[in-house]
Structure 1
Amino acid sequence: MRILLGKSKANPKSELQITGSKSETNRLLLLQALYPEISLANTSESDDSEAMRSALSSNSDVVDIHHAGTAMRFLTAYFAIQQGHTVILTGSSRMQERPIKILVDALRDLGADIEYVRNEGFPPLKIIGKKLSQNKVTLKADVSSQYISALLLIASKLENGLELTLDGKITSVPYINMTLALLKEIGIEVSFDGDLIVVAPSAVEEPKTLTVESDWSSASYFYSIVALSEIGTQITLSSYKENSLQGDSALSEIYKSFGVETKFDKNSVVLSKTSSVVDEILSFDLNHTPDIAQTIAVTAFALGIGCELTGLHTLKIKETDRLEALKIELMKLGADISVTDDSLSLKPSSAIKPNVAIDTYNDHRMAMAFAPIALKTSIVINEAEVVSKSFPTFWDDLRSIGFLVSQE
């Protein structure tokens, strides 16, 4: 499916309800499978969360999670402790190119029985569930935080809990803190001191209902839209918390540099364009918030300003190599951009080429990050259905706030 976005203007005032956080939902779905006493509200409608639900309720001996990277990491740990159950965990061809050796090695250190079906270090995996009694493991801290969270989510069900030592500079701390906060919320005892995380073996003794906050990563595209709109434009999004567990809530600070003001009103967040951007080049360290790098880079380009983004090393192993994909697609639009293994440098520009077709590389964030360009010029998004991975209503929501959206 191709989406054609005509040169658009956002409505002066709009309101939207954003689906629950995929990050919170996937963690809580796994915890709910371990602790059926938990009930969930406002869960994500994303493909990734549907993949988690389907896998956790499956009685099949082959579980295919397609493109869902979070599900692959979390379910590897989950199935490792399902005693008496053997499963082949697989995914799309891209998923079979995404490394998982670090997590598998850590689980094996705890006593897990996991084999590689094809290529060493990559899915598919044959996992023979068993009781794990080892409780100490060390993991490199500069890898995807999903490896760390996968271990933490099953830790309270290990016979002796878990003592996880993180070796080196810790990446994506907000996501680790999110996992620990959710564990605390259901009554599990945890501590995070220096490089050591300890999770006690626990049970959930009383029924609990947890409400999932809406997804801040999804909010990022509306921050971009407000930044590219006229002064006075306002978009209200719900449901959001000022004391969010999600690292991408840093958007409220980051987008001040793009002239966007954030106000919290009960369970909503109000985004307002209050000023023009004055800096020619903006610099951000996104070590803790890599998922919003694409949105920020496109926002800067569309405003004609430059940006220096660092802390992006985890983007190499996402749905696509996001740094290389960003470079290719922004260059199509006329950008002067360079990337390294962990950074992006964009020079200020004065013009955007119209009617460019953006390739999405099976990556939902590529499709959504480039859509706000339509506020400056017409643009085409190829394979636009990929947004269902995290935000199924995205194109309808754009239409509702004034974008000229047609399907081809």
Structure 2
Amino acid sequence: MTENVSETRPKKIFVGPSHLLPAQPEVPSSKYYTLRYVLAATLAVGESRIILPAFSDDSDALFCGCRMLGAELHWEDEQEQVLVIRGVERPTSSGPLTINVGNAGAVARLLLGLGALLPEVTFVTDHPESLGKRPNRELLEALTSLGVICEGTGPEGCLPITLRRNELHGGHVTISGARSSQYLSALLFLAPLLPEGLEIDVVDGLKSQPLVRATLEVLQEAGIVVSHDAALLHFHIAPGQRYQPRTYRIPGDYPSAAALLAAYAVSNDPSSILHLDRLRPGDEVGDVLLQTFKDMGADMQIAGENVTLRGGRRLQGFELDGDPVIDCIPVLVAAACFAEGESIISNIESLHYKESDRINDLCSELRRAGCNVEPQSDAIIIHGQPQGVEGGVTVDGHSDHRLLMALAIVALRSHRGLTLTGAEHISKSYPHFFTELQSFGATIRTIV
């Protein structure tokens, strides 16, 4: 008999080989858009409403951070589906602040940009082995050039970080886009509040361009005008602009949907059918993700915001430029482990700098489970095994929610299941992922 998986942070769980039942779960709301809309509302004058914000550890860190910046947040309804935010226009404080950003890298970096407006603020994390190792050097160098005194930890500007406003000004700044687009997004949110506005030149290329376009979309909705070139390498933001209060509706989260789609795509059972809705069409991440499942030969139908996927199809190997769907890569690798032939996912060097090293750490654990994968500096090569993998071992989630999702998918198609350690870190983005799988018929139990 399968016991219920506790929602109170299990440390270790077993995921066994399973046939999944027909399911129509509610897709979690987008982290990308929740973060950006909440920040825009925090910087507006008056009340904004956020409909269906994401629930996760990252969201909690975001809400706490915005309150520290002076915004007022409360729920309009008992079901906590509408978040009301009274903005501050410009973050202020009467003394030094300390903001704990948890394990939320995007929250940390976007708040670092706004922290430039405060007299003194220190950003800390209670996840030193994860977020505490992620670099922020390029963003701190940019803020320093704008008149902020920045004190990071180590040569890569890791947390904890203290910012002190000095002679803050705008003008011109250069930022590298090689490791993260979050540095650029942080400057874009800050720019309208600078006395001289801002000209931004991006050097070294730009990773994760769809997320920059999401930032630009949100800024436009909030009343901010940003001029930029087609390549997203040069930006101009005029001074004197004000964020406007708005009502924002959060769409479904494609990286979370990717995990569910992958779990059903690898199923050998054609009666395993997954129905998802609230997946906004025209989303860049979504378009690439859904096309990838089509390229794999998955039995998938798309109608507006609704996606249906049926298991039972023999998947095929594929080639993918992974940068546009960078947060979906671990679960796509997991699905490719059961496809026929070779799959190559390239242009993913930035995965080395996530919550874990999502190239080397992921491949190490997949190999332990019996998968045939080859890590490269900026790619993963997968030799599929449609017959399944052996399993029967313990694998480490490396404190990374994306790795945990990928390992769970592999466990479903293993012969002997997998024991996952660090399962509590799933709460970073999708707290109910394991209980959802269990409700679909997956064999999952907590190991005490």
Q: Same fold (TM over 0.5)?
A: yes
1:234 CA displacement: 2.3
Superposition pairs of residues 185-204 of structure 1, within 5 angstroms: 185-193=221-229, 194=231, 195-201=233-239, 202-204=241-243
1:228 corresponds to: 266
1:284 corresponds to: 320
1:5 has 2:40 as partner: no
CA distance in structure 1 between the aligned counterparts of 2:66 and 2:166, rounded to whole angstroms: 17
Quick one: which amino acid aligns to residue 108 of structure 2? M
- Summarize the Cα distance change of 1:274–1:191 in structure 2 as closer, same or farther, 3 Å threshold: farther
CA distance in structure 1 between the aligned counterparts of 2:281 and 2:250, rounded to whole angstroms: 14
Name the SS of the counterpart of 2:65 in structure 1: helix
CA distance in structure 2 between the aligned counterparts of 1:6 and 1:120, rounded to whole angstroms: 41
Instruction: Indicate the percent of aligned positions where both proteins have the same amino acid.
Output: 26
Name the SS of the counterpart of 2:337 in structure 1: helix
CA distance in structure 2 between the aligned counterparts of 1:9 and 1:36, rounded to whole angstroms: 51
1:190 CA displacement: 1.6
1:392 corresponds to: 431
Name the SS of the counterpart of 2:343 in structure 1: strand
CA distance in structure 2 between the aligned counterparts of 1:118 and 1:140, rounded to whole angstroms: 19
CA distance in structure 1 between the aligned counterparts of 2:153 and 2:209, rounded to whole angstroms: 32
1:45 CA displacement: 0.5
RMSD, matched Cα: 2.1
8 Å contact kept, 1:290–1:311: no
1:55 has 2:65 as partner: yes
- Given candidates 170, 178, 183, the residue that maps to 2:219 is 183
TM-score by length of 2: 0.84
Number of residue-to-residue matches in the alignment = 401
Name the SS of the counterpart of 2:59 in structure 1: helix
Superposition pairs of residues 5-404 of structure 1, within 5 angstroms: 5-11=15-21, 13-37=22-46, 38-58=48-68, 61-82=97-118, 84=119, 86-91=120-125, 92-94=127-129, 95-116=131-152, 121-129=157-165, 132-193=168-229, 194=231, 195-201=233-239, 202-205=241-244, 207-229=245-267, 230-231=269-270, 233-244=272-283, 247-265=285-303, 267-273=305-311, 275-277=313-315, 279=316, 281-303=317-339, 305-349=341-385, 350-377=387-414, 378-404=417-443
1:262 CA displacement: 4.3
Quick one: which amino acid aligns to residue 115 of structure 2? F
Quick one: which amino acid aligns to residue 93 of structure 1? P
Unaligned residue ranges in structure 2 (runs of 5+): 1-10, 70-95
Q: Give CA deviations for 1:188-218 in whole Å, capped at 9, x if unaligned.
A: 112221421223331134x410011111000
CA distance in structure 1 between the aligned counterparts of 2:360 and 2:325, rounded to whole angstroms: 18
CA distance in structure 1 between the aligned counterparts of 2:370 and 2:122, rounded to whole angstroms: 45
- Summarize the Cα distance change of 1:126–1:260 in structure 2 as closer, same or farther, 3 Å threshold: same
- Summarize the Cα distance change of 1:96–1:225 in structure 2 as closer, same or farther, 3 Å threshold: closer
CA distance in structure 2 between the aligned counterparts of 1:168 and 1:317, rounded to whole angstroms: 16
CA distance in structure 1 between the aligned counterparts of 2:432 and 2:287, rounded to whole angstroms: 21
CA distance in structure 2 between the aligned counterparts of 1:65 and 1:93, rounded to whole angstroms: 11
- Summarize the Cα distance change of 1:231–1:204 in structure 2 as closer, same or farther, 3 Å threshold: same
1:40 CA displacement: 0.8
- Summarize the Cα distance change of 1:40–1:227 in structure 2 as closer, same or farther, 3 Å threshold: same
Q: Give CA deviations for 1:169-198 in whole Å, capped at 9, x if unaligned.
A: 321110110100111111211222142122
